[in-house]
Amino acid sequence: MTTTPERDTTTNRTPGAGDERDSEAGAQAGAAAAAVAGAEAGAEAGAEAGADAGAEAGAEAGAAVVRTHGPVSGVTLVSATATATPPEPEDDSRRTVVVSRVEIPVRTIVRVVVAIGVILLLIQLWTTILLIFIAFLLAIALNPLVIRLTARGLPRVGAVALIVLSLVGLFALVLTLLIPPLVDQGRLFAADFDGYIEDLRSIADDNEVIDDQIESATDGGGGTPNPSAVFSRFLSVGSSLVSGLANLVILIVLAVYILVDGERIYDWIARYLPASQKAKVRRALPEIGRVISGYVTGQAINSTLFGVFAFIVLSILGVPQPLFLALLAAFADAIPIAGVLIATVPAVLLALTGPSGSITTAAIVLALYVAYQQIENYVIVPRVFGNTLQISSFAILVAVLVGGQLLGIIGVILALPLAAAIPVIEKIWRADLVPGGALATGAPDAPAPGSPPGDG
């Protein structure tokens, strides 16, 4: 007897196998529904990571539902994989443009304008400022001598007056002794000018540059000076002399006021300094005065020696205008580096073109000048200056170049004493950094310039 398996006519499925397929379909449907719900939730959050997390959470929740409630029938099977909606491309029309604006405070603008105004004012007053600065240097150089006189009981005003009158008297004496011979030698030079031109022309026949310079100073003919050129040069020299004498008088007056009112000037300047810097400034000023005074004294000795040497040599060799050339040598000796050329070249030229001039005489003058400069550099200067100028040759060269670029010949002359004062200032400013330094030991303050000893 054959038994036919019973079929479910309602669902057309075989019992047993159908239940297994329904369970599987229900699990997949539940998982898919939960995954879609999680994907939508993640998409609303606006992040791809949220969609992935929602899909995973939905799948797990669907599996849990199947395990708890059994298969779910009548649900359409959909994909259980949730894909996040890609972000829409950014619309250029919606892009926000951020414009940064720099705002300058009014206070900053005012400060810049004031600074520019001060710079322009300094440029306009540069000559006066330079005179005041040189007067300060002169007062600092003379202050040690004033202090010595006041230490002997002389009032400060009397000491300043004595020093100034002595300097003016010495200057007048020198002019009285030198002007008549200089005038006579100037006349001789003017009388022999034609001969000098002819001698230079004979030397410069093969040099077009020198010949053109000679032609420009003459009528272009037989060596006769061009009257208009000579007159214009005379006016230029006369104007320079008058201006120089006026500036010299102003310089002396300013130096006198600074020497007399030194303490009050220092107090006025120190009012704007921090308390920690006042002691350093008070200690530095006498040291700077010592350096500058030593330099001025030593340079005066060197210049005098060189001038005397030049006068003796040129007089013995019969070179024209020995007094003028000796004065030129004395003043040029105060100019570092270039001074030796300024003193030597005119002496050699006049030794070559003078009435008794010759190549031999010019060579002797050149050799003696060079030899003296070597003796001065290696023998006289170390003995005269001692430890006053504690600076290297490179520092001297840099100081001379900078001073010449800023102030011309005056800057070259002032460069050396100012450069010599820098190590002194550095030593005092660094003294409190060194254990046992002068400022660290509590030593009493040195007197300010313009104050007698004991005034603290």
Question: In a structure prediction context, what are the per-residue pLDDT tens digits for the chain, which is 456 residues long?
Answer: 444 444 444 444 444 444 555 556 555 666 666 556 655 655 565 555 554 555 566 556 655 554 555 554 444 444 444 444 555 555 555 566 666 677 788 889 999 999 999 999 988 888 888 888 888 888 888 888 888 899 998 898 899 999 889 988 888 887 787 777 777 766 766 666 666 666 666 665 655 555 565 555 555 544 455 556 656 766 776 777 788 788 888 888 898 998 888 778 878 887 888 877 888 888 888 888 888 888 888 888 899 999 999 999 999 998 888 888 898 899 889 887 778 888 999 899 888 877 777 889 989 999 999 999 889 888 888 777 766 666 777 877 888 888 888 878 788 888 888 888 888 888 888 776 655 544 444 444 444 444 433 343
Q: Can you tell me the distance from the alpha carbon of 254 to that of 138, in angstroms, rounded to the nearest whole number? A: 9
Residue 284 lies in a domain: no
Q: What residues contact 375, with CB distance under 8 A and at least 6 apart?
A: none
Q: Can you tell me the distance from the alpha carbon of 111 to that of 342, in angstroms, rounded to the nearest whole number? A: 46
Residue 333 lies in a domain: yes
Q: Can you tell me the distance from the alpha carbon of 25 to that of 348, in angstroms, rounded to the nearest whole number? A: 124
Amino acid 364: pLDDT? 93
Q: Is the pTM here over 0.85, yes or no?
A: no
Amino acid 14: pLDDT? 45
Q: Print burial letters for 204-236: b (CB count within 10 Å at least 16), e (below 16).
A: eeeeeeeeeebeebbeeeebebeeeeeeeeeee
User: Per DSSP, what are the bridge partners of residue 183?
Assistant: none
Last residue of a domain, one of 31, 51, 83: 83
User: Per DSSP, what are the bridge partners of residue 454?
Assistant: none
What tokens does 40 get?
Answer: 């939508």
Last residue of a domain, one of 66, 83, 100: 83
Residue 149 lies in a domain: no
Q: What are phi and psi of 95, to 5 degrees?
A: -65, 135
Residue 274 lies in a domain: no
Q: What are phi and psi of 345, to 5 degrees?
A: -60, -50
SS (H, E, C) the chain: CCCCCCCECCCCECCCHHHHHHHHHHHHHHHHHHHHHHHHHHHHHCCHHHHHHHHHHHHHHHHHHHHHHCCCCCCCCCCCCCCCCCCCCCCHHHCCCCCCCCCCCHHHHHHHHHHHHHHHHHHHCHHHHHHHHHHHHHHHHHHHHHHHHHHCCCCHHHHHHHHHHHHHHHHHHHHHHHHHHHHHHHHHHHHCHHHHHHHHHHHCCCCHHHHHHHHHHECCCCCCECHHHHHHHHHHHHHHHHHHHHHHHHHHHHHHHHHHCHHHHHHHHHCCCCHHHHHHHHHHHHHHHHHHHHHHHHHHHHHHHHHHHHHHHHHHHCCCCHHHHHHHHHHHCCCCCCHHHHHHHHHHHHHHHCCCCCHHHHHHHHHHHHHHHHHHHHHHHHHHHCCCCCCCHHHHHHHHHHHHHHHCHHHHHHHHHHHHHHHHHHHHHCHHHCCCCCCCCCCCCCCCCCCCCCCC
Residue 178 lies in a domain: no
Last residue of a domain, one of 42, 57, 83: 83
Residue 307 lies in a domain: yes
366 with 344: CB under 8 angstroms?
yes
Q: Can you tell me the distance from the alpha carbon of 40 to that of 83, in angstroms, rounded to the nearest whole number? A: 9
- Identify the domain containing residue 448 by its residue range: 291-456
Amino acid 251: pLDDT? 87
Q: Can you tell me the distance from the alpha carbon of 218 to that of 230, in angstroms, rounded to the nearest whole number? A: 9
Q: Please give the tally of structural domains in the chain.
A: 2
Amino acid 455: pLDDT? 40
Q: Can you tell me the distance from the alpha carbon of 343 to that of 329, in angstroms, rounded to the nearest whole number? A: 5
Tally of CB atoms within 10 A around 144: 16
- Tokens 């004395």, residue located: 330
Residue 439 lies in a domain: yes
Is residue 50 classed exposed, middle or buried when 0-12, 13-18 and 19+ CB atoms within 10 A define those classes? middle
Residue 151 lies in a domain: no
Among residues 346, 339, 344, the alpha carbon closest in space to that of 396 is found at: 339
Amino acid 335: pLDDT? 84
Q: Can you tell me the distance from the alpha carbon of 20 to that of 73, in angstroms, rounded to the nearest whole number? A: 12
- Tokens 């004991």, residue located: 454
389 with 420: CB under 8 angstroms?
yes
Q: C-alpha 108: how far from its chain's center?
A: 24
379 with 306: CB under 8 angstroms?
no
